[in-house]
């Protein structure tokens, strides 16, 4: 099965389940979105730590054809704002149509454009997955840029996510193109983790450069 076939199936499953989802009570809807809120908050902490004294984080998001701003992105922005940081969109990318044949995902030229606009930022966060065919833009991507974090999960809460092949993510990490990728899964919890970190650890895991 090709890289995005599974992704298309996940997107179709979400579309089929949408009527059931919207018919849930408010409490049930909130419970379904909670992991995405936890993801946004934990991601914000990681990004702020990487940014240091720089108070601006640039983001790459799917454009409006993908749907409204995601639950993850909104939680991320709220967490930044609560700590005096700001989020600025460097690129609203057209990711293609997951219901049609063809390549779906973040194109390398769009990713490179976002990095070029982010020189003064403390970090760059992509809610559009990792760049496809990134080797084709290696000359532009090898220029100095802030730390890059990529969210590559199947869902962003209220809209589909943009999963990226894990081998490609690891290759980007090992090449130094990105510094962190978040994928579906689980990871060990810290001994004194709060509710958000516990929920994050139960649903997601971080990929980093191999030792």
**Is the sign of the CA dihedral 188, 194, 197, 202 positive or negative?**
positive
The candidate with the shortest Cα–Cα distance to 29, out of 42, 15, 18, is: 18
pLDDT at residue 32 in the model:
52
pLDDT at residue 20 in the model:
45
Burial profile 47-67: b = 16 or more Cβ within 10 angstroms, e = fewer: bbebbeeeebbbbbbbeeebe
pLDDT interval class at 99 (50, 70, 90): confident
Contact between 149 and 126 under an 8 Å Cβ cutoff? The reply is: yes
pLDDT at residue 134 in the model:
85
Give backbone dihedrals phi and psi of 173, rounded to 5 degrees, phi first.
-65, -45
Between 27 and 9, residue with greater pLDDT: 27
The candidate with the shortest Cα–Cα distance to 125, out of 87, 74, 75, is: 87
Lowest average pLDDT, out of 14-18, 47-51, 77-81, 189-193, goes to 14-18
pLDDT at residue 2 in the model:
44
Q: Which domains are delineated in the chain?
A: 5-207 (3.40.50.2300)
Gap between the Cα atoms of 166 and 208, Å rounded: 11
């Amino acid at each position: 099965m090709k890289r995005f076939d599974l992704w298309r199936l996940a997107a179709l499953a979400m579309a089929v389940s949408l009527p059931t989802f919207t018919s849930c009570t408010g409490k049930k809807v909130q419970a379904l979105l909670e992991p995405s809120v936890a993801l946004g908050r934990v991601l914000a902490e990681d990004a702020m730590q990487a940014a240091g004294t720089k108070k601006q984080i640039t983001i790459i998001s799917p454009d409006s054809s993908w749907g409204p701003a995601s639950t993850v992105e909104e939680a991320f922005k709220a967490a930044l704002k609560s700590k005096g940081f700001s989020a600025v969109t460097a690129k609203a990318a057209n990711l293609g149509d997951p219901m049609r044949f063809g390549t779906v995902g973040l194109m390398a030229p769009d990713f490179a454009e976002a990095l070029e606009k982010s020189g003064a930022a403390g970090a760059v966060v992509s809610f559009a997955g990792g760049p496809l065919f990134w080797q084709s833009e290696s000359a532009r991507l090898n220029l100095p840029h802030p730390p890059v974090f990529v969210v590559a999960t199947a869902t962003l809460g209220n809209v589909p996510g943009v999963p990226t092949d894990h081998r490609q993510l690891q290759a980007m990490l090992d090449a130094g193109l990105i510094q962190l990728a978040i994928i579906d899964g689980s990871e060990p919890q810290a001994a004194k983790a709060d509710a958000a970190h516990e929920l994050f650890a139960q649903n997601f895991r971080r990929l980093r450069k191999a030792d």
